[in-house]
A and B are shown apart, each in its own frame.
Chain A
């Protein structure tokens, strides 16, 4: 499977899984889909028949709310039956909303932000001590970088020269209530540079750029590498893109689900089968008025508008 094919599958599974479960975070699942597609085809070393293979690259999805993306990636790689994806969020399922390690192919649970980088750094350090060649990867959110623990870990990884540690920031520029820069303004690349990291900025939907950035992260200064992947929240479904509503809302039956699937079919790579609706959803029902599928307003404290923006 190519990275483009896997990324499309992750998007399609993401739509189906949140549609069936009523689960949140489709915006984040869609923004990280290309990153996960490249990682799980061309970058990470793993063995589906031996999930605990000692030489495997270690991977943590620290933005655990996009769990559906990693579940889809490993199911498509044969760690478990793709059919099981439909049980996401369901009673008795193995697929909790946030990432669970009680599954073959996942060895670290997340869900509370700001944990993954420290653990990935600990693994990278242990690998250095034991002379092991694997790399330790972690995918984080940009909102997650509000957490102070991320910067504790960033200082640590730089100090201990963990050049076998690779962080990828899914920089979709939105977080829980608003755009990142309306929340806590930050220059992401500058910040990581300030912490001494090897910083690479790419278009997080450009597979060749991601591949080039991630293939070989060794560098002469033995720095840990961060790939800041600029992405679009909700990428691939126009009415979900860059809209905070779709951090929470799931694609409902009817117009939303049908439109989302049909839009994905327009960008479907050659050689991919849609496991759910092979020919798309031809019958698009009329958009029920006055239902609003997007929300343009984001939260802003009045004092901020009144006093800070005037300055």
Chain B
């Protein structure tokens, strides 16, 4: 996903000299193709995210289409006020790229777990929040946000994610993508996910189908603005809707869906699957931590089966 985004940025940058990539001194082995191809459109701002984001705002106000780049919480929480005051309030075309959403850097410890970023960025007016589920969604998203005025948060996984959303051509900001129709006559559930947990969610849906469930699955690469129509449509047809995110369940994707469902006149019940409001103190890689928290495929499937059998 990460390399795809950089390749896409190089393609865009070759055609448009206003594309700029600014890194906070990270991206070893990732950004090299960009700086070799487009040295005049690449800036290393050093380990100084506040300045990186302020500079990005200044350049965007002069007509540049700027992407800032760092990992974990550094491009977001460390410089939140610059995103709010300098970028979003001035409608500056700054696109904040985070590599390592969720537990990508699991073993590195709590400082590197980006698990509240969606909630925090979603709270800012005029910030679009995009969490692609796979490389296809990520590439399509980058092309769209470069040409869209205003500030955007692009939360990526790492690399090597399986491509699940194979149909996507044009990225539409605010659109959810239906990936699976309910096939059997079994118990009906709708499953929504955002971000790179898509692969685990899809595997969980396979497990549920094998267990006789009728699963309708959606990927929500955009968390803000949320696809209210897709949620409404499901809320009218399903008794149980599940959201899956590699993020705190407070304030994140599940909360965004809850806000929509709460204002609808339906009987749909929402169940949020994610990190249940704690900092992870266990040590381990992404797949280990996902399993500990219960957001690996088996954990997701068990939770859904548990809710339905209650």
Q: Which residues of A contact B (CB under 8 A)?
A: 101, 107-112, 114-115, 117-127, 129-130, 136, 148-149, 152-153, 155-156, 159-160
Given contacts A119-B61, A152-B46, contact A125 B85 (CB under 8 A): no
Query: Is B55 a contact of A125 with CB atoms below 8 Å?
Result: yes
Which A residues lie within 8 Å of B190 (CB)? none
Which B residues lie within 8 Å of A136 (CB)? 58
Query: Is A152 a contact of B51 with CB atoms below 8 Å?
Result: yes
Query: Is A122 a contact of B46 with CB atoms below 8 Å?
Result: no
Given contacts A109-B90, A129-B40, contact A119 B50 (CB under 8 A): no
Query: Is B50 a contact of A114 with CB atoms below 8 Å?
Result: yes
Candidates B63, B86, B89, B90; contact of A118 at CB < 8 Å: B86
Candidates A126, A148, A149, A153; contact of B63 at CB < 8 Å: A126
Look across to chain B and name the residue whose beta carbon is closest to the beta carbon of A127: B62
Q: Is B77 an interface residue (CB 8 A)?
A: no
Q: Scoring B residues 25 to 61 as 1 if CB is less than 8 Å from chain A, else 0, what string do you get? A: 0000000000000001001011010110111111111
Given contacts A152-B48, A156-B45, A156-B46, contact A121 B86 (CB under 8 A): no
Candidates B46, B50, B59, B90; contact of A149 at CB < 8 Å: B50
Q: Scoring B residues 80 to 109 as 1 if CB is less than 8 Å from chain A, else 0, what string do you get? A: 011001100110000000000000000000
Given contacts A115-B82, A115-B85, A126-B63, contact A121 B50 (CB under 8 A): no
Minimum distance in angstroms from A197 CB to a CB of chain B: 15
Minimum distance in angstroms from A116 CB to a CB of chain B: 8
Question: Given contacts A119-B54, A119-B57, A159-B46, could you give 5 more A-B pairs where the C-beta distance is less than 8 Å?
Answer: A115-B81, A136-B58, A155-B51, A156-B46, A156-B55
**Docked complex Cα distance between A101 and B60 (Å):** 15
Q: Is B64 an interface residue (CB 8 A)?
A: yes
Candidates A123, A130, A148; contact of B61 at CB < 8 Å: A123
Which B residues lie within 8 Å of A112 (CB)? 81, 85
Most buried by B among A107, A148, A153: A153
Given contacts A101-B90, A112-B81, A152-B48, contact A126 B54 (CB under 8 A): no
Chain A interface mostly: helix
Which A residues lie within 8 Å of B61 (CB)? 107-108, 119, 122-123
Candidates A109, A117, A118, A159; contact of B53 at CB < 8 Å: A118
Query: Is A123 a contact of B50 with CB atoms below 8 Å?
Result: no
Most buried by B among A107, A123, A152: A152
Look across to chain B and name the residue whose beta carbon is closest to the beta carbon of A111: B85
Which A residues lie within 8 Å of B51 (CB)? 118, 121, 149, 152-153, 155-156
Given contacts A118-B86, A125-B43, contact A148 B50 (CB under 8 A): yes
Minimum distance in angstroms from A140 CB to a CB of chain B: 13
Query: Is A118 a contact of B54 with CB atoms below 8 Å?
Result: yes
Which B residues lie within 8 Å of A109 (CB)? 85, 89-90
Candidates B43, B48, B86; contact of A155 at CB < 8 Å: B48
Query: Is A126 a contact of B62 with CB atoms below 8 Å?
Result: yes
Candidates A119, A125, A156, A160; contact of B48 at CB < 8 Å: A156
Query: Is B62 a contact of A115 with CB atoms below 8 Å?
Result: no
Query: Is B50 a contact of A152 with CB atoms below 8 Å?
Result: yes
Q: Shortest 10 CB-CB distances between A and B: which pairs? A: A122-B58, A118-B54, A152-B51, A152-B48, A126-B62, A122-B55, A119-B58, A149-B50, A123-B58, A122-B59
Give 21 pairs: A residue, B residue, CB < 8 Å, sorted on A. Answer: A101-B90, A108-B61, A109-B89, A110-B85, A115-B54, A115-B81, A115-B86, A118-B53, A119-B57, A123-B61, A123-B62, A124-B58, A126-B58, A127-B62, A148-B50, A149-B51, A153-B54, A155-B46, A155-B51, A156-B46, A156-B55
Which B residues lie within 8 Å of A110 (CB)? 85
